[in-house]
């Protein structure tokens, strides 16, 4: 069945435009509460990032959940993976995150975790949607849900993150610049690394409700690159607004993306004797990652883009490690969902235990030149029905032969067609990508 309200990762959009409105959030809280209450007395934890609109939607969700008889713990500004962890820790019926991840402050969204700390199954989302189409009713006054604020939520999550780092290792002697994108990690991120012994230099850790992700964080690491060089730091760590994406910067100021970080973690697990059967990437993962993983003697599988699909592929195979070039990294032996801080700690553990720099560790993987062009659209188009685009793709694949690949896909969160071309010859790749992007534009 197709979903009416839920997208690839909850409900997301422009604040003030349906469905990202307070009345819809109220009804969504009530509908989710009704779906959960059908299994008995329910409780929910609710976290948010640092967007100004988070206050609005937190209050609306709180009211809707209470109206459905659901008890609520408010966690305040806290990373998305923290909500997943605390959902399990409190044995809650669900966790709710108010965030639009790496998007600007004027976007927002609402996404859910199940009691196991993983994304809600499709069946549960469909049940919530069924309740959304019903008339909202309120329980008797003595059946309304209670609401409390969980004051120690950040501390609980900090200790959880630290527990994923080997107890016999320390970060003493490392100078680290931490870029929190003025987002949800602005308090817990620096605390985790400093409590493990690192000298932490804070970058983009001053949220004002509107500066989240603005030219900072994992999608804009340029400022972090400059800061690492200026501070003569050993490395930099950049999160996105809700703390489930990460990229790093080595001491030379070079960006280390999600593909390279996944490879580093896989190699460290193998080196330390931790069983690793294979690694899950996505259709956008660099071909160099595939070759490097296979060079370790491990299987490499590509899933559709999105952490939901990476998770599904991991669970299907019983594997524990996967990720995306954008920085979504899933370590299922450490957490139930993609967690940027936990992923960073696995890389730092590899550095400390090996005595090697981040630049030295990433040298084991050679990336193919890859060009990604986002073609923004005024309306959706069916690429398969556009003959000129299909002809352009066929010509590009013939020219690249077995030395590259082409991928055109629609974004799940934005009105954008992503044109990706990859191959050994960087000049050829750039030209083909530009030609394909123009073909997509002309299709309109």
Q: Please identify every residue annotated as catalytic.
A: 101
- Cα–Cα dist 345/399, whole Å: 42
Give the largest CA-CA distance in the chain.
70
Question: Could you tell me the sign of the dihedral formed by the alpha carbons of 43, 49, 50, 54, in that order?
Answer: negative
Tell me which residue of 278, 267, 295 sits closest to 362, measured CA to CA. Answer: 267
Beta-strand pair 255-256/246-250: antiparallel
Helices (H), 235-339: 258-271, 287-295, 307-317
What is the SS3 assignment for 207?
A: coil
351 vs 196, 344, 360, 367, 403, CA distance in Å? Answer: 14, 11, 9, 21, 33
Burial label, 136 (beta-carbon count in 10 A; 0-12, 13-18, 19+): middle
Cis peptide before 19 (omega within 30 of 0): yes
What is the SS3 assignment for 256?
A: strand
- Name 107's bridge partners: 14
């Amino acid at each position: 069945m197709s979903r009416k309200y839920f997208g690839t990762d909850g409900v997301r959009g422009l604040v003030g435009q349906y469905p990202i409105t307070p009345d819809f959030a109220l009804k969504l809280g009530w509908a989710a509460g009704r779906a959960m209450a059908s299994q008995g007395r329910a409780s929910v934890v609710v976290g948010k990032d640092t967007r100004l609109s988070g206050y609005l939607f937190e209050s609306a969700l709180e009211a809707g959940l209470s109206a459905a008889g659901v008890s609520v713990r408010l966690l305040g500004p806290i990373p998305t993976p923290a909500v997943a962890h605390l959902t399990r820790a409190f044995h809650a019926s669900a966790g709710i995150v108010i965030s639009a991840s790496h998007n600007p402050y004027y976007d927002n969204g609402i996404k859910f975790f199940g009691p196991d700390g993983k994304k809600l199954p499709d069946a549960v989302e469909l049940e919530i949607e069924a309740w959304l189409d019903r008339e909202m009713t309120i329980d008797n006054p003595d059946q309304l849900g209670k609401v409390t604020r969980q004051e120690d939520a950040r501390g609980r999550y900090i200790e959880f993150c630290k527990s994923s780092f080997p107890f016999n290792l320390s970060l003493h002697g490392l100078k680290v610049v931490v870029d929190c994108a003025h987002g949800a990690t602005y308090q817990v991120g620096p605390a985790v690394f400093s409590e493990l012994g690192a000298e932490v230099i804070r970058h983009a850790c001053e949220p004002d409700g509107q500066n989240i992700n603005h030219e900072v964080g994992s999608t804009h690491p340029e400022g972090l690159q400059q800061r690492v060089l200026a501070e003569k730091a050993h490395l930099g760590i950049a999160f996105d607004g809700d703390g489930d994406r990460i990229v790093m910067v080595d001491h030379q100021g070079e960006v280390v993306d999600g593909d390279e970080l996944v490879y580093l973690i896989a190699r460290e697990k193998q080196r330390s004797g931790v069983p690793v059967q294979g690694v899950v990437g996505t259709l956008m993962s660099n071909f160099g990652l595939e070759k490097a993983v296979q060079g370790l003697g491990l299987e490499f599988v590509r899933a559709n883009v999105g952490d939901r699909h990476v998770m599904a592929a991991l669970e299907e195979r019983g594997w524990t490690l996967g990720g995306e070039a954008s920085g979504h990294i899933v370590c299922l032996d450490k957490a139930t969902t993609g967690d940027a801080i936990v992923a960073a700690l696995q890389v730092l553990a590899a550095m400390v235990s090996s005595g090697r720099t981040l630049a030295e560790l990433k040298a084991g993987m050679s990336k193919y030149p890859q060009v990604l062009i986002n073609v923004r659209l005024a309306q959706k188009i069916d690429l398969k029905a556009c003959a000129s685009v299909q002809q352009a793709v066929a010509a590009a694949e013939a020219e690249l032969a077995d030395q590259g690949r082409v991928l055109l896909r629609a974004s799940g969160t934005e009105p954008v067609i992503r044109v990706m071309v990859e191959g050994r010859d960087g000049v050829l790749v750039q030209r083909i990508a530009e030609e394909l992007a123009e073909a997509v534009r002309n299709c309109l």
